[in-house]
Structure 1
Amino acid sequence: MKNLTFNKIIFYLYSVLFLFTPFIMTSNTSELFEFNKMIFIYLMTSLILFFWLLKMVFTKKIIIKKTPFDIPIFLFLASQIISTVFSIDRHTSIFGYYGRFNGGLLSIITYIILFYGFISNFFESKSLENILKVSIFSSVITIFWGLPGKLGYDLSCLLFMGQLNNSCWTAQFKPHERMFSTLGQPNWLGAFLAINFFIGLYFYFKNFKNKRYLIFNTLYLLLNFSSILFTRSRSSLGATLFCLLLFFLLYPLFYRLFFSSQSNMVDFSAKNILAKIKPLIIIFFIVFLPILVFKTGVEKIDRYLAAKFYLNYLVKPNKSNIVNQIDKNEKNQNKAIKITASIDIRKIVWQGALELGNRYPFFGTGVETFAYAYYFVRPKEHNLTSEWDYLYNKAHNEYLNYLATTGYIGLISYLLMVLAVAYFFISKINFGYQKNQKNKDLKNKSFSDDRLVYLQNYLLITCLFLAYLTILITNFFGFSTSTINLFFYLIPAFFISIYYQAKDQEQPEFLSNLNIKQQFFLVILLIPFGYFLFAIFSYWYADVLYAKADYLGKAGEYQQAVNYLNQALKLKYEHVYEDKLSYLLANLAFAAAYQKQNKIAQQLIITSKFYNKKSLSASPKNVLYWKTKAKNYYLFYQINLDRNQLEEGINALKQAKILSPTDPKIPYTLAIFYSILNKEEKDKIKSQKLKDEAKKLIDEALFLKPDFQDAISLKKELEN
């Protein structure tokens, strides 16, 4: 490891982080994409932190750089910690919602460590440019991985199933219609590509006079923008076009700031003007041609891009064609009735998020608890959408998500971070302009070099800020992911590295001579580092076991599923595992009773109740766990034929109803339970009361969702 300094090691780790995070995935885990990316980020952050601390041991210095963002960052972190303390589910607030993982307190601390790790260990702008090149290279691989799926030959299916087609994906995933590659969802891929578009734009302008680089950068931007269109992500497309328009508006400042003393500024010849706007003309065609060829996926825009639209003005339209077109439109409208537009669903979810923020105004319901808390205020209108029975684990608006889960204090502190970054960008542009005005009459070489450095820095920080702005826009219509949060927290670190570059310092070589005290601290560091690595691996492998248990449980292999879940719980505590385990044990008890193994069945019932109680103790406001309890007791009733079990199930559903008053499935299930009791009740008066209660609950379910077919059928059955 000769001449291998700590800065180089940390630089390589950041490069690996940006290179591999976008396409880390595996089919062995319960969630293919985000979980594995988050685990990888935890792993790389642990390594970066280890070598950063080790560097402090070698240099005998505390190496943490101060930044203009310190106060906003720590105010935000404090708000997240307090929100976690008062959370309705602390475990979820710490580790994140199980299935998304990104966004919990642990992940936020991780990103903040990455922020300070970057600014505290980099001194050269070349290091930053190399990392940006790595990000572009990673985006190219991600694009080429996703493109075959657009043609029906998805590489992920080849990797997971050994089949070069799109058949491994469910109906919700259609890579031939909307490309998502290794990011997991089209909007996530689109957001990632939008960021890299502006990183590519920096290299495009920086190397514009170099023909070889110009061709490469032009092709990259063309490929990138075309791929954004392939995702059919409106938020990503809108963010890219909006930020590109801002860049066009800022473009004249390049000449005003850095070439105001040049004679060609007053040269208005066609040749000089063309030379100035040539880069913009190429960018225009990079954007316009893909839109013309591949369209945007927005019907209101695409109809103006079709030749048929303009031919209608030249050729007299055929009456029969008009009738056919009307019929076609009516069919499309009927189809649209069944599938609610995503923006309409988002508006309903946003309404619920606002209500949550107003109910819990200070610190919200707890970091990353939206999946459970949304049920508290879920608007009745949600039941009339095509996604009425979907679980929404995010508000599909990052800002409203913070409002709902961390309150106004959490949201304001988050916005303060964003405003601090925006203020930094604006102040640095203004500083560059003022400095140039003071020196505009100087024409010596040193000024020319200085001007070039400021031009490149201005260009870089502008492109990075626009990349950052795309995150803010796409987050408004969605939510951040692990890959996007890397850029959200590290782009401000990039700003610092551009404008606060320290002088190069002599770096100690890795594992150079250590004294006894340093050796002692090295051992002290190795112990927690080893624990972190073990904990990260245990977390990942526990989920692998959980995924196996979930698959086997759905296949009816309850015994094997229970064994895997028990192993998972030994590696990593998750009340999600306990909830799943309680339900599997209930099913296993039912199977044992069916096979006349009554003693075993009773033992399994006791164990099932134990784990259900534990999961409810850990997350008492989780309506899903109360539903699990009701399902379990229904199975216990089928085993023992003890009506007390049904009554326990009814009590669980009543609690679920308190937590989720607009869920039509709860009164519907209660109606089923009461109808069973009605059939068993021999006393006619009591039987009639039970039947009336069932009817009342069915009416309630239909009030919440008038087109609830199962409830309609049950109502007819009860009326007979």
Structure 2
Amino acid sequence: MFMVEKISGWCGKIIEWSFYLLFFFVPLILTPLNYELFEYNKMMMVYGFALVIGASWIIKMIANGKPVIRRTPLDIPILLFLLSQIISTIFSIDRHVSIFGYYSRFNGGLLSVISYITLYYAFVTNFPQDKIKKLMFWVLSSGFLVSVYGILEHFGIDKNIWVQDVQNRVFSTLGQPNWLAAYISVLLPISLGLGIITFRSSEDRAVESQKSKVKSQNYNSKVKSSFFKEKIGLSGYWVVGSIYYLTLLYTKSRSGFIGFWVADVILIALTFIISYIKSKNVCTNDVTIVTGNVQGRSGILGKIVLANILFLVITFFIGSPFTEFNKYTFPELTRNKSVTAEVVKPPSGTALETGGTESGEIRRIVWKGAIDIIKHYPIFGTGVETFAFAYYKFRPLEHNAVSEWDFLYNKAHNEYLNYGATTGLVGLGSYLLFILFFIIWNLNKVKNQKLKFKNSNQKLKVEEDAHNSLFIIHSSLFSGWLTILITNFFGFSVVIIQLLFFLIPAIIIVLDSAIYPSNHLTIQTKRPVNSYQMAGIILTFFAFSFLIFTLCKFWYADTLFAKGYNLNRAGDAVTANPLLRNAVMLNNNEPVYHDELSVDYAQLAVLAYDQKNATLSAELAQSALEENNKTLSISSQNVTFWKSRTRIFYALSSIDNKYLKAAVDSLLIAEKLAPTDPKITYNLGLLYMKLNEKEKGLDFLLKSAQMKTNYKDPYFALGLFYMEEGKKEEGKKAFEHILKYISPDDVEVKKQLEEIGN
């Protein structure tokens, strides 16, 4: 017979340990098996733990016979935010992406938002307050492992694995330097806060010493033992903090660097305020105790100052992400004295990560496009996570002038503008409301703590010291959370950052229940569960099992897709086909799978035609069109899928010329979705030339050349066209433009000019 108390206890333990493992494994997990190595696996793990925690919570409530969801100060903004995401999804230009997230980013879809909110309420309702410090150990331990790997990465442990120059800018297990920096900048204030509370004031040790004198003759050894434990604990947190900070510098992330130092100043201010108020307002006739308070305050602040001096020393020897400051650092001061020339490996990756056109300029252009989206979709936006599709439509023409003109931007590289563009002012407003509520609530807690110390007395001192320690943890968590607001301004949330964004407030609220106890009670009885409760528990378990199975199925489908995708890129469409078909079978609602399979079928159709197998070729061509139609029926606003349709029809035109007109029609739709993309207009020009509609072809080639004056392809095509038409002067001008503004040493262009001269 199952007792309510036992079931409730089991579920409570499952929830508790699931949170430990969630915070520990999400930053660490990655696999080489998936299409996207980092974010996909982290998101799948969040879904998995959300299901485990959610199911355990439901079973616990069924067993207790009463639904228990703890009320929190953030209920209203969370509810409004969730409603805004749901409404934006309903009116989305791509509901599939709005529900599941953009394929390769994943975080940010409606399902992920629901998961984070579920975890938030599961935590505040079920997680025991006395286990918070243990949870922090798991959080910081994971960050420690991530940081150690990042440092080893800087020294070349995996330099031959990645295309990116990971020694120049490390990303460890997070996948991108700015994401790693955002994560580390959250953990740094937390490690400082926990380090602070391990160092008790001399006053506290004096009080313990007096008590020990009365109770034991061995008080000196006890106090010494406690003192050494505190020193070891403080040193441990300093070492961890130093490793975090070193990793932060190795990311060379300016946003993460700024975020940490702002949070550090806030943590110092909060700690100083509380320590100062406490020492100022404690009233006692014992002069030693008063002196102890002052020493305690100076001791705590002294440790913070020393920690910051340590960080500055590390910065001096390593350098900062800001070149303006680096001229005062050791590497720059000694650089000119070195007789050995330094060979610098050219960075790879996007300019927002490593260089190219100044990242600030690219952000300005992308932000301009995001603002245009907001102007056209002001209320509910284009739909949750649809920035990639919406941006193409409002992409500023000046984007063609930057080094990354042909990159796909599926985020606004500003979390706030991203919410504004995809969920409108309603979504952005609710998101900002959540932030504002939490900041105001925390500031009120500082005020309440001040009043608490003003009304303190010696009798309540022990209780107040405990509250003071909790408040320092509270302050360090809040300071760490504030770094997210800064790094999100220059980037966007990934899985671990979004998890911390929602769960740090939950942790603080649980801590707050100890500082300011609530009337929240946990229901437990020794009665057995009845048959109705058992039926509910069994149904919940089966529903949970089905969802976990579906999650595993989707994960496996992604591994098959990744293999098929890579084989297609390697030119092995035959081997790729069964893998892609199995991926589609396991996850039939994913348009990315249908799209890749449709392109694969088209390649096989051409191959069969070349092998004189007309029947098989026709069947494969039909399969290609069917898969592409399925793709567009799910996601019709994705310009990439219309480009794929063009590729399919163009490939099939080698079998039957009728497909060439269909290729043009598909690309014209793509042009409407991305009117400032010079590649689309260039390819339209070529296709019209193939259809012998030279006037239209010329118009599109000229349009492409005007869109991007340093784009070689349309100018070269124009040069060839003019030569064929006997217009040598116009052809010469087109070729000379390439040599003058694009590629001065282009051998092929020089050859064409020589032919014109002859």
Q: TM-score, normalised by structure 1?
A: 0.89
Q: Report the counterpart of residue 686 of structure 2 in structure 1.
A: 672
Which residue does the alignment assign to 2:232? Answer: 212
1:131 aligns with 2:131: no
One-letter amino acid of the counterpart of residue 662, structure 2:
E
Q: What is the SS of the residue equivalent to 1:120?
A: helix
Query: Identical aligned pairs, as a percentage?
Result: 35
CA shift digits 1:127-184 (9 cap, x unpaired): 1111111000001111122222211112xxxxxxxxxxx22211xx221111111111
| Residue 374 of structure 1, aligned match among 391, 402, 411 | 391
1:659 is matched with: 673
1:254 deviates by 2.1
Query: Are 1:74 and 2:79 an aligned pair?
Result: yes
Judged with a 3 Å threshold, the aligned counterparts in structure 2 of structure 1 residues 45 and 648 are, in CA distance, closer, same or farther, namely: same
Q: Determine which of 574, 579, 603 is the counterpart of 1:587.
A: 603
Q: Give the CA deviation at 1:498.
A: 1.3
1:51-104 CA-to-partner distances (Å, cap 9, x unmatched) read 111111221111111111111001000000000000000000000000111000
Q: Residues 139-178 of structure 1: matches in 2 within 5 Å?
A: 139-154=143-158, 166-170=159-163, 173-178=164-169
Q: State the AA in 1 paired with 2:268.
A: F
Instruction: Tell whether 2:511 aligns with 1:491.
Output: no
> Relative to 1, partners in 2 of residues 1:244 and 1:455: Cα closer, same or farther, differing over 3 Å?
same
AA paired with 2:439? A
The letter of the residue matching 1:350 is: W
CA contact (8 A) 2:276 2:297 kept: no
User: What is residue 41 of structure 1 aligned with on the other side?
Assistant: 46
Partner of 2:425: 408
Match of 2:586 in 1: 571
TM-fit CA distance, 1:435: 2.2
CA distance 1:264–1:706, shift in 2 (3 Å): farther
Contact 2:318 2:331 in 1 (8 A): no
Distance 2:562 2:300 in 1: 57
| Amino acid aligned to 1:634 | Y
Q: 2:310 matched to 1:280?
A: no
Aligned to 1:348: 365
Cα drift, residue 515 of structure 1:
2.9
Residue pair 2:474, 2:508 contacting (<8 A) in 1 also: yes
Is 631-640 or 517-526 further displaced after alignment? 517-526
Unmatched 5+ stretches in structure 1:
155-165, 679-689
Would you say the 8 A contact 1:93–1:368 is kept in 2? yes
The answer to whether the 8 Å contact 1:221/1:286 transfers is: no
Residue 713 of structure 2 is matched in structure 1 by 710
Aligned to 2:117: 112
Contact 1:363 1:407 in 2 (8 A): yes
Q: Does 1:245 align with 2:248?
A: no
**Cα deviations by residue, 1:677-697 (Å, 9 ceiling, x for unpaired):** 22xxxxxxxxxxx22322221
Is it true that 1:7 corresponds to 2:6 in the alignment? no
Deviation at 1:714, TM superposition (A): 1.0
Partner of 1:692: 695
The aligned amino acid for 1:700 is K
Are 2:472 and 1:456 equivalent residues in the alignment? no
Cα deviation, residue 304, structure 1: 2.4
Matched residue of 1:362: which SS? coil
Distance 2:86 2:195 in 1: 42
In structure 1, distance between residues paired with 2:602 and 2:427 = 41
Label 1:706 to 1:266 Cα distance change in 2 as closer, same or farther (>3 A).
Answer: farther
**Is 2:89–2:95's contact at 8 Å kept on the other side of the alignment?**
yes
Q: 1:516 maps to which residue?
A: 531
Partner of 2:550: 535
- How far apart, in 2, do the equivalents of 1:26 and 1:218 lie? 32
Contact 1:592 1:600 in 2 (8 A): yes
Structure 2 residue aligned with 1:292: 316
Q: Residue 429 of structure 1 is aligned with which of 446, 456, 469?
A: 446
Matched letter for residue 128 of structure 1? I
Whether the aligned pair in 2 keeps the contact of 1:202 and 1:463 (CA below 8 Å) is yes
Of 557-566 and 84-93, the range deviating more from structure 2: 557-566
Partner amino acid, structure 2, of 1:363: F
Correspondences of 1:188-203 after superposition (within 5 Å): 188-203=179-194
Kept in 2: contact 1:691–1:718 (CA 8 A): no
Once the two structures are TM-superposed, the CA of residue 202 in structure 1 deviates from its matched residue by 1.2
Letter in 1 for 2:103: Y
CA contact (8 A) 2:174 2:180 kept: yes
Among 522, 525, 548, which residue is 2:563 paired with?
548
Residues paired across the two proteins, number: 673
Quote how far apart the aligned CAs of 1:513 are.
4.6
Distance across 2 between alignment mates of 1:464 and 1:590: 59
Matched with 1:687 is none
Q: Which amino acid aligns with 2:238?
A: T
Relative to structure 1, is the Cα distance of residues 538 and 214 closer, same or farther in structure 2, using a 3 angstrom cutoff? same
Instruction: Determine the C-alpha separation between the residues in 2 that align with 1:97 and 1:74.
Output: 23
Corresponding residue of 1:560: 575
Q: TM-score, normalised by structure 2?
A: 0.85
Between the aligned partners of 1:710 and 1:451, the Cα distance in structure 2 is 73
- The answer to whether the aligner puts 1:612 opposite 2:628 as a matched pair is yes
- What corresponds to 2:213 in structure 1? none
State the one-letter code of the partner of 1:204. Answer: G
Partner of 2:256: 236
